Amino acid sequence: MDFAVLFREKYTFTSPHRRTSAFYITAMSRKKQNVSTTSPVPVEPPPKWFGPTGPISEDFPEEEDLILTRKLTETLQSYDVYESKQELQHRETVLKKLETLYKEWLQEMCDQMNVPEVVKAKVGGKVLPFGSYHLGVHSKGADIDALCVGPGFLDRKDFFTSFFEKLKAQKEVKDIRAIEETYVPVIKLTYEGIEIDLVFGRLAQKSVPEKLNLLDDKYVLGLDKRCIRSLNGYRVTEEILQHVPNVHNFRIALRVIKLWAKQRNIYSNSLGFLGGVSWAIMVARICQVYPNATPATLVIKFFKVYSTWIWPVPIQLHRVKNCLDRNIWNPNVNPSDRCHQMAIITPAYPQQNTSVNVSRSSLAVLTEEIERGHIVAQEIQQKEANWSKFFEKQDFFDKYQYV
């Protein structure tokens, strides 16, 4: 089941007939001109789709949509979610300094391991941000998730010992700690006042090229699970950005949904609700089926679509190629996947469900909040409410009196 099935919009179901009619008219006109109808007929390339199905609507915004978006962005700014230009530049500087430190450490490790000079000269190394910062939707004071990419001859243990000590020796670094026994091993630290989470991923090669396309699945094939999980933080984030038609509108809409979810106390993967990547995938799918919509329209459509969504029908940003691969989420192949209450699937191989922590009770809360959001969105559209009502904070202890 997909958007075309759930919402039987005219566009999806008439497009095949439009192509047939176009072919027929072209053939008839060629016949009138005494041109052989058996000769090749120019065929227009199919339109580019950003998702597994075509758009529900490609309507362009009207003036009312633009006014709604302006009011939405003004309301969003009043919640002080944006960083200043100086704060953004400081983040960029911190990441560059960390990458310099990381590359220095790689050179030191090459000397320590007596690596040939020709290999050492090309060993490279990269520090790639991912998560909300890379998506461009991080809030003030938020941490930065970053992937350290290294060559295959390094041992993972070296990263959590040798590089850890190098970081610890820096005067700019505070509150550093290594957490190895977790789903994705990480070094947590504060660098010049900014919280950083560093993960480590090795490539099955001797060097890390400057121009590195980690979206190519060849880089994760044959790697151990910890490396795949580390690399996939960046890969998933980048895939999301690659699969939306308008990144600017996507970012504004996602900021709105994130703020709304936090205000309504449903932004938490560990508490059984949804984390940042889940909300990002859900918003990205709406962007795919309404490619020309303004941020305000995307937010309204978000609640319209998901208030009637039939869970656990999966949300996916593209079709999975190898459905028989047991490493990817597939309830037809993996029995454990059939127990999931929601299915919001990552776009990078191996595709995984980001909402495995959702329980029957937390799904009920999520559904209730999305339905409330849909009601408020309709009121806003009908000029019976403003966007501030949409962001009204929920009193946790008032709602959950018997926790």
CA 352 to chain centre: 13
d(CA 181, CA 400): 33
Helices 295-306 and 247-263, packing angle to 10 deg: 60
Scored b (16 or more CB within 10 A) or e, 42-76 reads: eeeeeeeebbbbbbbbeeebeeebeebbeebbebb
Q: Do the annotations mark residue 395 as ligand-binding? A: no
Active-site residue among 219, 234, 267, 306?
267
User: Which residues does 39 contact at the CB level (< 8 Å), separation at least 6?
Assistant: 30
Cis? peptide before 347, omega within 30° of 0: no
- Name the phi and psi angles at 191, rounded to 5: -120, 115
Active-site position among 2, 102, 258, 337? 258
| Residue 59 annotated in active site | no
Question: Is position 258 annotated as part of the catalytic site?
Answer: yes
Whether residue 131 is annotated as binding a ligand: the answer is yes
Catalytic residue among 143, 188, 206, 262: 143
Q: Is 258 annotated as a binding residue?
A: yes
* Residue 277 annotated in ligand binding: yes
Query: Is 65 in the active site?
Result: no
Q: Annotated binding residue at 197?
A: yes
Query: Which listed residue (2, 65, 145, 337) is catalytic?
Result: 145
- Check whether 262 is labelled as a binding-site residue: no
Q: Could you write out the DSSP letters of every residue in 49-113?
A: -SSSS--S--PPP-HHHHHHHHHHHHHHHHTT-SPPHHHHHHHHHHHHHHHHHHHHHHHHHHHHT
Q: DSSP H helical segments within 84-198, as ranges?
A: 85-112, 117-121, 131-135, 156-158, 164-168
Place of tokens 């072209």: 26
Tell whether residue 400 is among the known ligand binding residues.
no
Select which of 132, 207, 355, 362 is catalytic: 132
The CB-side HSE value for 177 (13 A sphere, CA atoms) comes to: 3
Nearest Cα neighbor of 81 from 267, 252, 293 is: 252
Q: Is 253 helix (H, G, I), strand (E, B) or coil?
A: helix
Question: Does residue 217 have an active-site annotation?
Answer: no
Cα dihedral 58/50/256/82 (nearest 10): -120
- Alpha carbons 212 and 227: distance in angstroms, whole number: 16
276 is in an annotated binding site: yes
* Amino acid type, 333: V
DSSP per residue, 26-51: HHHHHHHTT--TTSPPP-PPPPP-SS
Active site includes 349? no
* 79 has catalytic annotation: no
d(Cα 403, Cα 401) in Å, to the nearest integer?
Answer: 6
Number of Cβ within 10 Å of residue 395's Cβ equals 9
Which residues fall in the annotated binding site? 130-132, 143-145, 197, 258, 267, 276-277
Which residues define the annotated binding site for Mg(2+)? 143, 145, 197
Residues within the annotated binding site for ATP? Answer: 130-132, 143-145, 197, 258, 267, 276-277
Give catalytic residues, as residue numbers.
132, 143, 145, 197, 258, 267
